[in-house]
Amino acid sequence: MSLVSMAQLLLDAQQGQYAVGAFNCNNMEIVQAIVSAAEAEKSPVIVQASQGAIKYAGIEYIAAMTRLAAEQASVPVALHLDHGTSFAQVMSCVRNSFTSVMIDGSKLPLEENIALTNKVIEAVRPLGISVEAELGKIGGTEDDITVSEKEALFTDPAEAERFVSETKVDALAIAIGTAHGQYKGVPELDFQRLTEIRKRVNVPIVLHGSSGVPNEAIQEAISLGVCKVNIDTNIREAFVAAARKVMVDHPQEIDPRKMLGPAREATVAIIREKIRLFGSSGKA
Ligand code: G3H
Ligand code: 13P
Ligand code: ZN
């Protein structure tokens, strides 16, 4: 199948009360693992690349690998820019056959976030490319801030309503207590805030920083309107643990395929687990 736009995948998920997994890729093995896992689960899937992934692998490689994986698959695959921060980056993805972009203006004042998001929407929507934006600040687990400082960065429901009505964005990433990376403790999600946002906003909601969030909390978030769940850290953990095990068990091994093969298999396994958790198995 050719790459598809993300918007319809998320609208179907919203209708069916499940979420589509958005999995970060950095190399060929991870792209293959994401699409194989989706194929095995008969699930739609979003392959996403951060600016760091694009810098590491090259945008042409990320796009070509994902396009090929999608063409060989029978399930719908979208290719999405994760946390794009500039118009130029978005356009570079557009030129390289991405079917969806995130424009993350969450560090900007509200008016500027709205203006940047609208500039992107105007440019890419006529091309059938979907747009995710972020409101509120989803930090990293390393951020050394107190609970009240963290809550001050959460998405304000009234602002979310204004943001969506003034941008008509396809999906909105919100801050309700998750963070990127490995958590030190167990994250607590602000479900009341999510409920309030859902009441005021009708577009699909995106949960970032979802690795390490307890399964029950992920399911609760999906039942309250989350339609896209982003996973990166759990992939890194599975991939590296499997490769490391080969290096430790067989220190003389010099064939990279003997390390990256098991790493790819471990990645398929964790992604299949997530797809089942998100309820998108069999929805392709
Ligand atoms: O949102 C953050 C993702 O985990 C991407 O991380 O910028 O290190 O590729 P990265
Ligand atoms: P995690 O690395 O915490 O899973 O977050 C992924 C993410 O939100 C990518 O945008
Ligand atoms: Zn993120």
Determine the pLDDT at residue 150.
84
Q: Spelled out in words, what is the top-level CATH class assigned to the domain 6-278? A: alpha beta
End-to-end CA distance of the chain: 12
pLDDT reported for residue 5? 94
Instruction: Find out whether the beta carbon of 233 lies less than 6 Å from any atom of ligand 2.
Output: yes
252 CA to middle of ligand 1, Å?
Answer: 32
80 is in an annotated binding site: no
Q: For ligand 1, atom 9, name the residue with the nearest CA.
A: 52
User: Does the beta carbon of 231 sit less than 6 angstroms from any atom of ligand 2?
Assistant: yes
- Residue 225 marked as a ligand binder: no
Rounded percentage of the chain residues whose pLDDT exceeds 90: 95
* 50 phi, psi to nearest 5 deg: -85, 170
> How confident is the model over 157-174, as pLDDT tens digits?
999 999 999 999 999 999
Active site residue 82: yes
- The 3-state secondary structure of 123-155 reads HHHHHCCEEEEEECCCCECCCCCCHHHHHHCCC
Residue 100 CA to ligand 3 centre (angstroms): 15
Quote the pLDDT of residue 33: 99
For residue 141, the model assigns a pLDDT of 87
The pLDDT tens digits of the residues spanning 178-213 come to: 999 999 999 999 999 999 999 999 999 999 999 999
The atom of ligand 1 lying closest to the CA of 233 is: 4
CB-based contacts of 111: which residues, under 8 Å, 6+ apart? none
Compute the distance from residue 152 Cα to the ligand 1 centre, in Å.
23
The domain limits of the chain are: 6-278
The rounded mean pLDDT for the chain is: 97
Query: pTM of the full predicted structure?
Result: 0.98
Taking the alpha carbons of 7, 9, 10, 12 in that order, is the dihedral positive or negative? Answer: positive
Low-confidence ranges of the chain (pLDDT < 50): none
